[in-house]
Structure 1
């Protein structure tokens, strides 16, 4: 049986949309109290499993996680990768609607695979590729200023234009500094919707793994900043902390070199997705018999450790949400290979040394990847 799309009561699609409604003093999915100024903190890569395993280094976060007055965990959605997850958060729509379906995705109009974080160009304008209005655009149109607080290098990126458009960008190089900027925004505005991005945990986990001392140091830094920020929230202010996905460590010995397994690339023109969730696209010249043989080869080789499904099966199972727009459908792989064991797939002909050195991984549907925190502060803590 395929894993269900909705493994939790709430998902990232509910988070910023609920904050937006809260600032409008409207009912919302998360039952947040009405506030005038709201903040969502996104700790990239902070899964609940890793947080619990390092609970002694994050006492403030754990205190919130153990609060039994409201749900404190949600699902990240599919695939568990930053590009897709943040688009879901900031639009309130699933990948089948907003159109960012993986770390890399197939651009059918130009017969290429494009990195959805860094590969934007004139052939794929971010404002048109990401198909939904952002909640920041809606907020500003409604008269509520919207702000993004992040590292300066993201201010003018294509990905920012795709998923954060509508918000005013404010920069700070440090975790602590970003929380200080957010506090300044709240002080300067009667009403505000604020998104604060913390990429450091994810960056360190990719290089060293979440079980490393370096990851713990970043977790402690985040915990301290959250504690101080939360204590300073005032009446009419609420904040949530969540993540885009979780993480698990995959040693080099658990890499699967799929290009070295006979039959797996027959009739395949493009490989998109990420190491824990491949999205394979057929060569248009591959006939049905060849496609059937290649699919059978993948199932025979990998079904014991991964879900090997067709696009039609994934869409029917709701992996990309209950609705998949016609223009999004070609972006999804004809065949998807989603790891269920602690493995990662690499094509040794094309994978860079830096990619193969990555320790912390995500992209598939294990609980370590999908279960993320939803921690409440300020007026939201009493919701």
Structure 2
């Protein structure tokens, strides 16, 4: 079965191009974004272009501003750690090194959750993610830079890895965050403001993208974004990835009794895109053949070399990124998910909405221009 690649993998519009476009807009030299006196990047975590269009009646502000071609491609894997980092560095995961949700720390031989386990795993965010951020680039060029997010996110390892260089401001509700972002952009000419809205992603994981809770989260965010944008401020609304619902009967659990852990040291990543790390003396070719055979129709199973050759992690792969990738990569097809039945934490099996793989629902995200960016 051929590898399932998104048609937009080679597209010129990708979320990794957002950071340089925002900086260019402040210089009046953008190609996708018009000149602006200050800019706001609104990231609606987990909002795919397809679910947004399917629920357009609940998101009238966004839907009315979104033309047919106002979409962009995410990155691989379509997971928050990888995709948000690409959004704010302007480079693909193969360059910035955030290549999955839980990946190998080769220095310690353990898996690291790149959203939450920086301190407990002894990982230095400034070393692990060394690519300059949008905010570091902005301040170096004399532009004020701000991040507006939840108070709990200030000072975390993930924040220091991808949002360094910006002044962190916090607000609780989507409406308050958007209002604060507008105020900062209006008060500081030349500023870059990042406004993070994770409510849709959280509701999707817990309840699914067709749930009342997901719709309510979308409505709240749409209402927040209906506020008048200050004159001369360009607003780009996008997402890190989309999401797809996984029903219980589409879950496959890999248990030791089934031989799934034979020759395997670690299973990382997440259920829709596993990083599988083999034992040093394992027969990689035999394991690859077995996983492909047994997961046929449910997932694409490829080697790390095949993934790199296909350009999944971007045009270049650093040694650091390479050392964190699994020997095998398992990208779920359709609405399947594959779980490590021997993992200590099994809470992920209760999630409805998931992401990480290459379906259009996960890959395509909005690219909506508002304010001074509106066409």
TM over 0.5: yes
Name the counterpart of 2:58.
Answer: 57
Alignment partner of 1:16 is 2:19: yes
Name the counterpart of 1:233.
Answer: 230
Q: 1:88 aligns with which of 78, 86, 89?
A: 86
Question: Structure 1, residues 319-375: CA drift from partner, whole Å, max 9, x if none?
Answer: 000100122111111100101121111122215342111111000000000010000
Q: Distance in 2 between matches of 1:7 and 1:305?
A: 25
Q: 2:30 aligns with which of 27, 30, 34?
A: 27
Q: Distance in 2 between matches of 1:62 and 1:174?
A: 21
**Conserved? CA contact 2:38–2:186, under 8 Å:** no
**Conserved? CA contact 1:97–1:131, under 8 Å:** no
SS at 1:328's partner residue?
helix
**Conserved? CA contact 1:264–1:294, under 8 Å:** no
Q: 2:243 aligns with which of 241, 247, 260?
A: 247
Name the counterpart of 1:139.
Answer: 138
Q: Distance in 1 between matches of 2:113 and 2:369?
A: 33
Q: 1:78 aligns with which of 72, 76, 79?
A: 76
Question: Structure 1, residues 165-191: CA drift from partner, whole Å, max 9, x if none?
Answer: 001000001000001111221232122
Q: Distance in 1 between matches of 2:315 and 2:229?
A: 40
In structure 2, the CA distance between the partners of 1:186 and 1:26, relative to structure 1 (3 Å rule), is same
Q: Distance in 1 between matches of 2:189 and 2:253?
A: 55
Q: Distance in 2 between matches of 1:374 and 1:330?
A: 32
The RMSD of aligned alpha carbons is 1.5
Q: Distance in 1 between matches of 2:359 and 2:201?
A: 17
SS at 1:374's partner residue?
strand
Q: Distance in 2 between matches of 1:322 and 1:9?
A: 13
Question: Structure 1, residues 107-157: CA drift from partner, whole Å, max 9, x if none?
Answer: 111000000100102731001100201110010011000100000010111
TM-superposed deviation, 1:74: 0.5
Counterpart mapping for 1:254-265 below 5 A? 254-259=250-255, 262-265=258-261
Name the counterpart of 1:346.
Answer: 339
Name the counterpart of 1:43.
Answer: 44
Moved more, 346-355 or 99-108: 346-355
**Conserved? CA contact 2:77–2:273, under 8 Å:** yes
In structure 2, the CA distance between the partners of 1:298 and 1:261, relative to structure 1 (3 Å rule), is farther
**Conserved? CA contact 1:265–1:294, under 8 Å:** no
TM-superposed deviation, 1:7: 5.4
Name the counterpart of 1:277.
Answer: 273
TM-superposed deviation, 1:293: 2.0
Name the counterpart of 1:364.
Answer: 357
**Conserved? CA contact 1:175–1:221, under 8 Å:** yes
TM-superposed deviation, 1:76: 0.7
Gaps of 5+ in 1: none
Q: Distance in 1 between matches of 2:363 and 2:299?
A: 16
Question: Structure 1, residues 89-114: CA drift from partner, whole Å, max 9, x if none?
Answer: 00000000000000111111100000
Q: Distance in 2 between matches of 1:351 and 1:48?
A: 34
**Conserved? CA contact 2:272–2:354, under 8 Å:** yes
Q: Distance in 2 between matches of 1:369 and 1:363?
A: 7
Name the counterpart of 2:188.
Answer: 189
Q: Distance in 1 between matches of 2:311 and 2:370?
A: 32
Moved more, 186-195 or 211-220: 186-195
Q: Give the number of aligned pairs.
A: 371
TM-superposed deviation, 1:260: 5.3
Name the counterpart of 2:100.
Answer: 102
